[in-house]
Structure 1
Amino acid sequence: MEAKYDIENDIEFGKEIFENIPNELRPLWGGLILSKINKHIKSVPKEVVDLLEIVEAKTWQKAHEQFTAIRKFNLNHQDYKPKNYISLAEKTAKITFNSTGALAQFDNDSGWQIPSLTLKICSELKLEKIREEITSVLLMFHRNKKIKNNLDLAKEVFHYRITDEILWNDWDPIGINDSAPRDEYQGYVPQIFSAIKNGESAKEISKRLLKIEIEQMGLPGNKKSCFRIANKLLKLIKNE
C-alpha cells in the first residue's frame, strides 16, 4: 500500500481517503485510529480519553467543547510528545463535531490530515509492527469507492472491523495481543458478528464467547469479561 501511496506526506491522498468515508462513520473511524495509537502512548491525557468516550457514546455534539479542552492541554503542555498525537486528537474532535451537521463547524479539511498524522506518529514511535495494520484501517473505505453511496454496506464493513478489533484488543482471553500474529482471533469474528446482526442479546453473545474460551481454547472462562465485551460490541454496533 505505502509503496504506491505516500500517505505520510501526501495531504491530497489524505483528502481522497477521508472524503470517501460516509459522514455518519467518520467519528468512529477517527476514534478507532486514535484508540489504536493510544495503546502505544505512555500517558494518554484525560482530555483524549474523554473524547473517545464521546465518540463511543455517539454524543458527538459534545466534541466541540472537547476540542477546546484538548487544545488547552496542547497549549499548556508544549513539551508533550509525540506532538503529532495531540494534533491527531484535535482533528478527531473536529471531524466528530462536524459529522453532526451543526452550524459553526470546524474547517472541512480537518480529516484530510488524519492519515498523514497517524503514520507520522507511527514513525516517531517506531511502530513498524503495527504500521501495516493501521494503514489498513486508514484505507478501509478507500478500497471500495462505491461504499460512500451505500451507507448500509459501509456500516457492515466498518462494524465487522470493529468486531475484529474488540475481540483482539479487549477480549483477548489468551493475553497475547502484544506478541501473537494479528489473525489469532479472526476465525471467531464471523460467528460473533452474525450473532450481533441477528439481534442476539448481550447475554447470548456473552455465552458464545464463554463457550469459545472453554471449549475451543481450553480456558476456565471468564463470564464477567465476556459479558463486558458483549456489551461493548452492542454499544458500538447496535446503538445507531
Structure 2
Amino acid sequence: MGIKLPPDQLALYKRIDEILYHDWDPIGVSGLGGPADEYYGYLPQVFKRALYADDPQEIAEYLTWVTVERMGVSPAKEHDLKIASQILASKRELIHGK
C-alpha cells in the first residue's frame, strides 16, 4: 500500500519524474525512446530530498552518487547541480506558489 500524497506534493513527484527522465537522463534513454520508468527506483529518494532541502547541493550529491555508484557512468556534477536547482524551482512553484 502506497502513501497518498497531498495534491501539491503529488504534482511535485510527477514533475521530478519528468525532470529525471527528460533532463537528468545520465544514460540517454529518453533520447532513444527508452522506458519511461528507467529512473523510478531513484525517484522516491530524490523526492524526499526535494521536500526537505533548500540547498540543491544535497540533491545534486545524491544524483552524482547514483550516476557513479549505481550506473557506472562518469560524474557530471555541474549537470547534477543544474538538475537539482530545477527540482527545487519546481518545488517552489508547485508547493510554495512562487
Structure 2, gaps ≥5 residues long: none
Partner of 1:160: 13
Is the 2:51–2:91 contact (alpha carbons within 8 Å) kept by the matching residues of 1?
no
With CA pairs under 8 Å and 6+ residues apart, which has the higher RCO, 1 or 2?
2
The CA deviation at 1:238 is 2.6
Partners of 2:60 and 2:43 lie apart in 1 by: 14
Is the 2:54–2:88 contact (alpha carbons within 8 Å) kept by the matching residues of 1?
no
Please say if 1:233 is aligned against 2:96: no
Please say if 1:175 is aligned against 2:28: yes
Partner of 2:56: 202
The CA deviation at 1:184 is 0.4
Q: 2:39 is aligned with what amino acid? A: Y
Structure number with greater Rg is 1
| Range moving further from structure 2, 185-194 or 174-183 | 174-183
For 1:88-99, list aligned pairs within 5 A: none
Partner of 1:219: 73
TM-score norm. by structure 1 comes to 0.36
Partners of 2:70 and 2:92 lie apart in 1 by: 27
The CA deviation at 1:208 is 0.4
Partners of 2:68 and 2:28 lie apart in 1 by: 15
Matched positions, count: 89
Please say if 1:193 is aligned against 2:51: no
Q: 1:214 is aligned with what amino acid? A: V
TM-score norm. by structure 2 comes to 0.85
Q: 1:205 is aligned with what amino acid? A: I
Q: What's the C-alpha RMSD, in Å, of the aligned pairs?
A: 1.4
Distance 1:200 1:216, change over 3 A: farther
Q: Percentage identity across aligned positions?
A: 34
The secondary structure found in structure 1 opposite 2:6 is helix
Structure 1, gaps ≥5 residues long: 1-151
